[in-house]
Structure 1
């Protein structure tokens, strides 16, 4: 008997599980406050955090948003004990649907160059390296 996975928007009572999953999956970084990132993503209708819920347990996540031109996905995480079961593909499908429902036709994501396993995962899903360089400048309160 298989357990059904439901992809849905994050609820307030999911936040603790999501933060724990991000740490366990290795997608959080010491300089990013996960709770702050979640609150920021949920502040308006242009972004959200999607979760895969299996009987009340959060087993995968994707933070997804759009800037009016392109969609972006961050914090894609799967419970390390449940990898290779299609949860990553499922949460990415949910993120793509979220963007398509808003009329967005391009989806982008960032992968650390040395993370070969994750690069291959996204390539398998049809994502391609655009051979562009991402520049970043930390500004405002986040610079502290």
Structure 2
């Protein structure tokens, strides 16, 4: 099962007391997607990430919150339902606190890992390049082996 992207985004923002920027939100959700794919073989959210200059991005989410720029996102997720108990909520409950100390720049560096899925498909100044979920799951496994 997946959860909606707005529901996942709202959950991340709530866990971070609404002190998360668009850039940081995108990277946190990407890491959560990676962990979830790696552990359960299924995506956390149904939408694909694209390889943008500053790392993985879900374009529809970007458009929804871009008005906040680098400032903390305010609640624009009016139709997002609370997360049900389950693996998806557990993934976010693990990933979000783990990444809390990371600055947006550190999150960008984390997602730009040279052996990672983003780096394998990224082309400078090009949008629309989907990062395949299989590659994201492979990144999870590669990171597990490198630790």
TM-score after normalising by structure 2? 0.25
Higher relative contact order (CA 8 A, sep 6+): 2
Higher helix content, 1 or 2: 2
TM value normalised by structure 1: 0.26
Q: Relative to total residues, which structure has the larger strand share, 1 or 2?
A: 1
Is the radius of gyration larger for structure 1 or structure 2?
A: 1
